[in-house]
Amino acid sequence: MPINLDQVVPWGRSLNEYVRMFELSTRELEWGILDCAGGPASFNAEMHRRGRSVISCDPIYRFSPSEIAARIDETYPNILEKTKQTRGNFLWHEMKSPDELGEIRMSTMKKFLADLPEGLAEGRYLAAELPSPLSRPGI
């Protein structure tokens, strides 16, 4: 079922965050990578600048960069405010505060948006989604 952009809460991550989150080794970063549910992450853009191969898939890539940017601008203040309200639920080791987290996320999403038109043309971003487990036969 196609998504509507108003259902999306964009919050992208950087190459450094991917490396830490998935414990990616230097060797693994040399492989071709399929980034499922990539969203507005700068991982693809940063890897491309390093000459590495990444294909990012996400249903939001069917929307234009300006539509995605508008959605980011619309949701960002609310996400940041809720993060501040629940800051005690997070460990603040890598990022020291909600404001720093917000700055990093916004910088990451801007890198993504700058790369998206070229990446779409090159086939590095694909408007695709994984099938729903409920749509599989026998489930």
Closest CA to 6 of 68, 57, 61, 80: 68
Output the CA–CA distances (angstroms, integers) from residue 103 to 11, 59, 62, 96, in the order listed.
11, 25, 26, 11
| Contact of 52 with 29, CB cutoff 8 Å | yes
What's this model's pTM, rounded to 2 decimal places?
A: 0.88
The whole-number pLDDT of residue 137 equals: 53
Average of per-residue pLDDT values in the chain:
91
What is the pLDDT, as a whole number, of residue 132?
A: 62
- Neighbouring residues of 92: CB distance < 8 A, sequence distance ≥ 6: none
118-136: per-residue pLDDT in tens? 999 999 999 998 776 555 4
Report pLDDT digits (tens) over 106-119. 999 999 999 999 99
Q: What are the domain boundaries of the chain?
A: 7-130
Burial of 12 (0-12, 13-18, 19+ CB in 10 A): buried
DSSP 8-state symbol, 131: P
6-57: pLDDT as tens digits: 888 899 999 999 999 999 999 999 999 999 999 999 999 999 999 999 999 9
Secondary structure class of 130 (helix, strand, coil): coil
CA angle 29, 126, 59 (to 5 degrees): 115
Q: Quote the CA–CA distance of 96 and 101 in Å, as a whole number.
A: 8
Quick count: other Cβ atoms within 10 Å of Cβ 8? Answer: 18
pLDDT recorded at residue 135: 52
